[in-house]
């Protein structure tokens, strides 16, 4: 089979965690891969994924900027294959109270989770729409339904992504392009270490397996589902969040995300 007939998957945030697991599933399904992340570990991930027998191209790129998103889109364009599935998974978190965070770090969360994601989707989804085919999976979060006391910026960005995903899906109705929002709960990845949240209750609690989360999300995308919450506990939490006053949700979130709560 020639390269022109191969299916192509683009996965961001694929150096570890849910992104890497999504890439493994895509590889097992026979997709050629273009994977990206903002750290050198993306090359290690690429070597691991090549054992699946598919073509894997990796790019270390800062996806918190429009320039980074454009650079990745150009990298994809140079491949000469249309993107069949885009798994927009890149994201970062940050713990502690908002006023105690360095503003540059807080804004980097916004730029990575929102600006870069939106910029990349704008480019690739336009190409999908012009072709009349394509699938997009956006990694949102159940955190998007909950005011994130001590994670105010992160939860706010995930609220944006959840809402954006639902809206974009309806805008692309009948175009041949589908959009699915994967909404995980706390997952066993490097997220809490990177967010400096290992001293919190949520940072030390039992978490979902990223392979299970990725499987649920990938299947929902292929089934053309609008959104999926991974894990029954997270589904229950989402239902409760929809009927619980915001003030109570914010107070509950503080009890698990405030610095030092791991020792309470």
Q: Say whether 154 is catalytic.
A: yes
* CA-CA-CA-CA dihedral for 74, 217, 14, 108, to nearest 10: 80
Active-site option among 24, 31, 150, 154 = 154
Cα 199 to Cα 232: distance, rounded to the nearest angstrom: 26
Tell me how far CA of residue 86 lies from CA of 78, 82, 182, 196, 223, in angstroms. Answer: 16, 11, 13, 29, 15
CB 193 within 8 A of CB 248: no
Q: Helix (H, G, I), strand (E, B), or coil: what is residue 66?
A: helix
**Structure tokens of 97?**
């109270």
Q: What is the DSSP letter of 38?
A: S
Q: Which residue is listed with tokens 């990845």? A: 189
158 is catalytic: yes
Catalytic pick among 24, 96, 158, 207: 158
CB atoms near residue 1 (< 10 Å): 6
The 8-class DSSP code of residue 172 comes to T
Residue 187 forms beta bridges with which residues?
208
Positions marked catalytic: 154, 158
């Amino acid at each position: 089979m020639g390269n022109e007939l191969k299916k192509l998957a683009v996965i961001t945030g694929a150096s570890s965690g849910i992104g890497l697991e999504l890439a493994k599933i895509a590889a097992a399904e026979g997709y050629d891969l273009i994977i990206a992340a903002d750290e050198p570990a993306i090359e290690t991930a690429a070597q691991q994924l090549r054992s699946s027998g598919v073509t894997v191209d990796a790019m270390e790129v800062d996806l918190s900027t429009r320039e980074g998103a454009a650079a990745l889109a150009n990298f994809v364009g140079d491949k000469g294959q249309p993107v069949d599935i885009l798994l927009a998974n890149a994201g970062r978190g940050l713990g502690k109270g908002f006023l105690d965070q360095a503003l540059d770090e807080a804004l980097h969360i916004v730029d990575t989770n929102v600006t870069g994601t939106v910029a990349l989707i704008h480019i690739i989804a336009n190409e999908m729409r012009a072709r009349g085919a394509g699938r997009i999976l956006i990694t949102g979060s159940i955190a998007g339904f909950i005011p994130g006391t001590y994670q105010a910026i992160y939860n706010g960005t995930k609220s944006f992504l959840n809402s954006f995903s639902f809206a974009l899906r309806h805008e692309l109705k009948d175009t041949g392009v589908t959009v699915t929002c994967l909404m995980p709960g706390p997952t066993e990845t490097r997220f809490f270490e990177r967010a400096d949240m290992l001293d919190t209750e949520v940072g030390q609690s039992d978490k979902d397996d990223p392979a299970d989360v990725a499987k649920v999300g990938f299947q929902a995308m292929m089934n053309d589902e609008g959104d999926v919450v991974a894990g029954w506990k997270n589904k229950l939490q989402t239902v409760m969040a929809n009927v619980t006053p915001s003030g109570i949700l914010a107070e509950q979130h503080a009890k698990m995300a405030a610095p030092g709560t791991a020792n309470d």
